[in-house]
Structure 1
Amino acid sequence: MSTVFNFTFVPWFRSVAPYIHTHRGKTFVVGVTGEAIAAGKLQNIAQDLALIQSMGVKVVLVHGFRPQVNEQLRAKGHEAKYSHGMRITDEVALDSAQEAAGQLRYEIEAAFSQGLPNTPMAGSTVRMISGNFITARPVGVIDGVDFKHSGLVRKVDASGIRRTLEFGAMVLMSPFGFSPTGEAFNLTMEEVATSVAISIQADKLIFLTEIPGIRMDSELPESEDNPIDTELPLDAARKLLAALPPPQRPTDTAFYLQHCVKACEAGVERNHILPFAVDGSLLLEVYVHDGIGTMVIDEKLESLREATADDIGGILQLIEPFERDGTLVKRSRTEIERDVAQYTVIEHDGVIFGCAALYPFPEAKTAEMAALTVSPQSQSQGDGDRILKRVEQRAKAMGFDSIFVLTTRTMHWFIKRGFVMVEPDWLPDARKKKYNWDRKSQVLVKKFK
């Protein structure tokens, strides 16, 4: 049993190490719905956030309290009132919100204070600091509806939050804000988390929600044929949002998506919608390549680029397994160092998941694409096509008429993308001299004209 565990644990731990390095020193704003806490998920969420913080991530935790406030209202015999997707906060609702927030802060601080032996919290020291970081203003009257003590974020004390994070504490925020005259306003967790993420220019905004993410077809019900869109470019997210009706409930597709789009447009690089129903969804999203929810990302954050000397180690690590099984011809570190400028790489969250080299033969107005490699973790996600397109663009920019590849195993993939098989005699003379007749590689060409 222990041997089997070792064989699974060691490769897994090595696979998450790049993400641990990438996220160290970064800042995450995590919005947790009150529904997650009502569903009994607080303990596991606290453990996961404590673990993430222990790996060098600065965390701002914003909690919601919709069901808790409604429970307080029911106990008072008072009805919850909503309009335009927002709570109308009268005096009774404001009192209920303050009571719910106080109870929740107590429960959250207690969850982060546990340190029993043989639990994930053993040995952890999580200092939680909260404060009046939010200045608010009233929502006012909309379409004749007076929202009373419901408010909107006017200003975030970004420097105060940053100083607290630098101190090594986790910042805990309730969805409350205060006016300069000391008047309290009930805010939404989603707006507070988004405003804070934008103000401190967080690296990630993460919502732990009732929904599993954004479906590839938002109009179809949940099914295997309608999976979660794990990476949603900002432009596509904008178009989807424009086609959806204004959200009224948290389960509406646009409800969390609108905040992710707003944050992304304001410079927050990655914005996530995760299901709290899946145990460990935070860890799965942050430390596993495919993730588990939807990430809205600004496509201008180019992950496809030409390689630099800093990428040599990543390229070697990527191609080594394919060299061992004979898919690729073995290349030495010296050779890759010498030719690194010829490589195109694709990366996700700072980790290289694909590469290809382009070797020009100017006299024949063609170039060889070599060492095209995509990590097994991201195959079938279009990375190979993106690299091929970029390499083709480089070859065209050099004035070449075609590119060619030599392969023993992946000829069908290239044929589907416009390559045709030719005899080795087609190769430029300089390349023909290096052709390995024993390997019997197929030669495939893609012509641009």
Structure 2
Amino acid sequence: MSDELNYVEWFRHSSPYINAHRGKTFVILIPGEALESPMFSGIIHDLALLDSLGIRLVLVQGARPQIDRVLNSRQLNRQFEGGYRVTPHDQLLDIIQASAAVRVQLEAQLSMGLANTPMANARLKVCSGNFVIARPLGVVDGIDYGFSGEVRRIDSEAIFRLLKDDNMVLLPHLGFSPTGEVFNLKAEDVATQAAIQLKADKLIIYSEEDGVFNTDGTMVSELLARDAETILHSRNLSSTAHTALEACVKSIRANVPRAHLISFNHNGGLLRELFTREGAGTMIDEDSYEQLRSANIDDVGGMMALLAPLEEKGALVRRSRELLENEINRFIVIERDGAIVACAALYPFEEELSGELACLAVSPNYRGSNRGELLLKGIESEAKKLGLKTLFLLTTRTAHWFIEHGFKETRIDDLPTQKQALYNYQRNSKIFAKTL
């Protein structure tokens, strides 16, 4: 397929995400290291694109490397305790100046409008101000943190007014007290509190690393908050990776629906994470009351109760208890409070690198949500693990739902040979397939 057609297909497949994100509020942390990445101009272009798509953006800036350079140039000591920079009075002005320089750099980049560039005619409006109210950290375990502080509150009302008027809001890692003092804050804390207090739809953190990795080196594309907490307590992560993941978990626990970790060193990482199914980093979700898992023999009774009404209507082929027990390793289920509310099965045809999606069923009491999509995603994941390239199904009632999820009608001759021999012409099922 040509590059032009690849682009067309990508753009078409991204449209559901564009519709889903329009009008939503995203808080995005841009650390100081990102400004020094070769991909920084791409990040600016991506932010401009999100703004043009109607996404409300709150940017939080960090400045750690820039501050370090200023302090080094003045031969001043740098001290970190408990993940926070100790800020003596004689370093505060240097920190403010370094932070201001980063803010100006960001605002300058977001103001570009050169012809023949992604910023042409962007006309972004960027606002900053005293939106972060802070208080001092004080003395902790005998350590005086000086002018290092923590977020007291975010002026959400003022920020909402600016967002409503199509402004992009820029929050520095500096906070201000009612007594007129300036405090140096951890950028991750500002981003977390902004996401929480603004009731943002997403917290997105740029970092040097791509995301969270399994112990075998493979990247985790989606992670439940409880699993993220386990990683925080059981693994020796770098300080920056630990801080970023901790911020994501804290925001999720405070009812921010999604948090994302992506690398600032990959061109287009933000767009890939938001507008493709595979993503580019790690997404952290809240723990669900429901659990998608492999089925076991104890689930057979619940599965039979779930499938029986659909079998009686002729929507599914009847399966005996014995057959379900023998094929239980083919099934995945969604369990809610001990009850099986949905299931699906995968039957691989490994010679043809193909798999059959079968017996996808959701309890009538739990339809209208995304459980069908969750099952489909689970089956697709299992198929990919087996190295299958195509997923097919036979259906008599739900053709439109599968078409909406990327399946296309095909012929009996396209089925694996073994499945062709078992095709029931009396049911006259329609056949659909999807390339994985």
Same fold (TM over 0.5): yes
3-state SS in 2 of match to 1:155 = strand
Report the counterpart of residue 335 of structure 1 in structure 2. none
Q: Deviations over 1:9-44 (max 9, x none)?
A: 211111111111111111100001101112344322
Q: How far off its partner does 1:144 sit? A: 1.1
Native 8 Å contact 1:205 1:272 kept in 2:
yes
> Out of 245, 253, 259, which is 1:257 matched to?
245
Equivalent in the alignment of 1:440:
421
Q: Does 1:270 align with 2:268?
A: no
Residues 405-438 of structure 1: CA distance to partner in whole angstroms, max 9, x if unpaired? 9999867888x99xxxxxxxxxxxxxxxxxx9x9
After superposition, the C-alpha distances for 1:361-411 in whole angstroms (9 at most, x for unaligned) are: 3599x95389xxxxxxxxxxxxxx99841499999779xxx9999999867
Describe the shift of the 1:78–1:358 C-alpha distance in structure 2 as closer, same or farther (beyond 3 A): farther
Looking at structure 1, the residues matched to 29 and 337 of structure 2 have their Cα atoms a distance apart, in angstroms, of: 41
1:285 aligned residue (273, 286, 298)? 273
Does the 8 Å contact 2:212/2:220 carry over to 1? yes
Residue in 2 aligned with 1:239?
230
Gaps (5+ residues) in structure 2?
293-305, 320-328, 359-378, 383-411, 413-418, 425-436
Give the corresponding residue for 2:183: 185
Superposed CA deviations along residues 92-116 of structure 1, whole A, max 9, x for unmatched, are: 3211111011111111111011111
Distance 1:303 1:17, change over 3 A: farther
Q: 1:396 to 1:63 in 2, by over 3 A?
A: closer
* Residue pair 2:192, 2:248 contacting (<8 A) in 1 also: yes
Instruction: Give TM-score scaled by structure 1 length.
Output: 0.68
- 1:227 is matched with which residue? 218
Select which of 318, 333, 348 maps to 1:389. 333
Change (3 A) 1:279 1:249: same
TM-score normalised according to structure 2 size:
0.70
- Give the structure 1 partner of residue 49 of structure 2: 51
Change in Cα spacing, 1:411 to 1:267, as seen in structure 2 (3 Å) is: closer
Distance 1:404 1:36 in 2: 44
Distance, in Å, in 1 between the alignment partners of 2:311 and 2:121 is: 60
Aligned ranges 1:20-419 → 2 under 5 Å: 20-217=18-215, 225-244=216-235, 249-250=239-240, 253-300=241-288, 360-362=310-312, 368=317, 388-390=332-334
Give the partner amino acid of 2:333: K
Partners of 1:369 and 1:404 within 8 A in 2: no
- Secondary structure at the aligned position of 1:368 is classed as coil
CA deviation vs aligned residue, 1:312-337 (integer Å, no higher than 9, x gap): xxxxxxxxxxxxxxxxxxxxxxxxxx
Cα distance in 1 between the residues matched to 2:92 and 2:126: 25
Q: Which residue identity is paired with 2:43?
A: I
Q: CA deviation at 1:439?
A: 4.9
Query: 2:209·2:262 contact (CA, 8 Å) conserved in 1?
Result: yes
CA distance in 2, matches of 1:200, 1:120: 29
Summarize the Cα distance change of 1:413–1:248 in structure 2 as closer, same or farther, 3 Å threshold: closer
What one-letter code is carried by the residue in structure 1 that aligns with 2:310?
A: P
Q: Does the 8 Å contact 1:42/1:111 carry over to 2?
A: no
Count of matched residue pairs: 343
In structure 1, the partner of 2:11 is: 13
What secondary structure, in the 3-state scheme, does the structure 2 residue paired with 1:268 have? coil
CA RMSD of aligned residues (A): 3.8
Please give the alpha-carbon distance, in whole angstroms, between the structure 2 residues aligned to 1:123 and 1:386. 54
Deviations 1:146-199 (A, max 9, x none): 110000001111111111111100000100111110111000110000000000
Q: Is contact 1:273-1:293 (8 Å) kept?
A: yes
Equivalent position amino acid for 2:239 in 1 = R
Cα distance in 2 for partners of 1:392, 1:86 equals 41
**Which amino acid is 2:421 matched to?**
K
Indicate conservation of the 8 Å contact 1:406/1:442, yes or no: no
Report the identity percentage. 35
Q: Which amino acid in the other structure matches residue 21 of structure 1? A: N
Once the two structures are TM-superposed, the CA of residue 301 in structure 1 deviates from its matched residue by 8.2
Q: Distance in 2 between matches of 1:154 and 1:50?
A: 30
Query: CA–CA distance in 1 between the matches of 2:345 and 2:101?
Result: 66
Is the CA contact 1:137–1:151 (under 8 Å) kept in the aligned structure 2?
yes
Question: Which amino acid letter does the alignment assign opposite residue 164 of structure 2?
Answer: E
Structure 2 vs 1, CA of residues 412 and 57 (structure 1 numbering), >3 Å: closer, same or farther?
A: closer
Change (3 A) 1:211 1:391: closer
Q: 2-side partners of 1:76 and 1:114: how far apart?
A: 33
Match of 1:336 in 2: none
For residues 442 and 285 of structure 1, do their structure 2 counterparts lie closer, same or farther at Cα, with a shift above 3 Å needed?
Answer: same
Q: Secondary structure at the match of 1:190?
A: helix
**1:126: how far off?**
0.5
Q: Distance in 2 between matches of 1:232 and 1:386?
A: 24
Report the Cα offset of residue 440 of structure 1: 3.2
Contact 1:38 1:68 in 2 (8 A): no
Shift of 1:244: 4.1
Asked whether the equivalents of residues 344 and 357 of structure 2 are also in contact (C-alpha less than 8 Å), the reply is no
Moved more, 5-14 or 121-130: 5-14
User: Match for residue 337 of structure 1?
Assistant: none
Q: How far apart, in 2, do the equivalents of 1:131 and 1:192 lie?
A: 14
* AA at the equivalent of 2:148: S
